Amino acid sequence: MKDKRITITGGKGFLGKHLIRQLQGQGYQNIVVADLPEYNLVNLSNIQKMYDDLKPDIVIHLAAKVGGIGFNQENPASLFYENIMMGVQLLHEGYLRKIEKFVALGTICAYPKFTPVPFREEDLWNGYPEETNAPYGLAKKMTLVQSQAYRQQYGFNSIFLLPVNLYGPGDNFTFKSSHVIPALIRKVHLANLLSEEAYDAIIKDFLFNKETEFVIDGKKLKIDKTSSPETIQKVLKHFGISLQSVSGESPTLPSFKRSDLSSSLSSFKPSIVPASETSGLLSDPVEKTGERSSLASVVEVWGTGKATREFFYVEEAAEAIVLATERYNGSEPVNIGAGFEISIKDLVDLIVGLTGFKGQVVWDGTKPDGQPRRMLDTTKARKEFGFKARTGFREGLKKTIEWYRER
């Protein structure tokens, strides 16, 4: 199988880069990427050109338009249209060209809003997805319907994998479309820099993420090497990061030393207040004076923190995809994940501890939590192709934070 021509759609993205490394590490030689700008996979003529140019034996379809809750709320139509058009047309053209296998990546967002935990594959059709995720989740879910229909009528070999939320080095950290872990890591990192008045480092962060132009309260603002502290603070405040003037010492947090995740989370309590009690905290930008003020940073987090999520280290997701590509040829969907859940509040506590954040966390309960709970049953992945996650969550999170800090 290692001499097969493998095309990875979305191969320039977060998961795609890790998947390529995983395949190369296992001896695969003929790996090519189909991604923007060479191929717009929403466009049928581009898809046909991709197949004609690359002549794949196997297609692993990772390409997707995707984002967090805010992005989903702002872009439901484009999320539905672009994802369904990519999946339907890629699989159909693969069938017409008689490729050997099509590997489709779905999403945990396809599950019903109130699916019993842990999510089992047989529960996939027992209700409607959580509202903010529904256009994306249903669009991806239609690839499963198509996959099963084409297998039944044409004998076409395609499989459908359901990954949980991914995280790890190389993730998307942009405020526009990042998911919860990279968004929280970046917010806390910037809040730490803001409390140190490390404006050059903050500018470097925005340049690294290619986010430099903003419209805030009807005014255009730009972050570049000449930006003033006042401008930087206005932009940060727009994304829920601000400064609080304090008398005496800033709030301190207990040390975070225990290796056991559950023990660590139960013993670690950052300074957290609800958004309704922070009218004096989220004040106008603090002017930099000749004498350094005593300042503490404040980070705003959406929701109540009660929702739970499962997170899957990206390197292991890549391993699971390779194993499924090699060993699984069934029509039924298969969950791939780590098989645990953690509340968003406990996730924030953990990131606060690992980053040494000494400010305050503010919960904005007016913003949505999203799906109440998420955790996959990964029994079928172990049974069908021998995959089981091994990376501890604390370990993976620490690697992700270290990677981002080193950028």
- Which position among 51, 95, 136, 313 bears the catalytic label? 136
136 flagged as catalytic: yes
Parallel, antiparallel or unpaired: strands 342-343 and 308-309? antiparallel
Rama region for 183: left / alpha / beta (φ>0; ψ in -120 to 50; rest): alpha
**H/E stretch holding 213:** strand 213-216
**Nearest Cα to 310, choosing from 106, 197, 166, 112?**
166
Per the CB < 8 A criterion, the answer to whether 72 and 28 are in contact is: no
The residues facing 223 across adjacent strands are: none
Q: What is the DSSP string of 148-162?
A: HHHHHHH---EEEEE
DSSP H helical segments within 328-378, as ranges? 344-355
**H/E stretch holding 273:** strand 271-274
Sheet holding 101-105, edge to edge: 31-34, 6-9, 58-61, 101-105, 158-163, 334-336
Rama region for 362: left / alpha / beta (φ>0; ψ in -120 to 50; rest): beta
Cα Rg of the chain, angstroms: 22
Q: How far apart are CA 83 and CA 88, in angstroms?
A: 9
- 216 — phi, psi (to 5°)? -125, 120
Give the 3-state secondary structure of residue 297: strand
Q: Residue type for 170, please? A: G
Q: How far apart are CA 298 and CA 191, in angstroms?
A: 7
Q: How far apart are CA 198 and CA 194, in angstroms?
A: 6
**Nearest Cα to 146, choosing from 107, 83, 88?**
88
Q: Please state, in angstroms and as integers, the Cα–Cα distance from residue 256 to each residue in 62, 298, 352, 405, following that order.
A: 37, 20, 9, 18
Per the CB < 8 A criterion, the answer to whether 337 and 374 are in contact is: no
Q: How far apart are CA 279 and CA 234, in angstroms?
A: 16
Q: How far apart are CA 15 and CA 337, in angstroms?
A: 14
Active site residues: 136
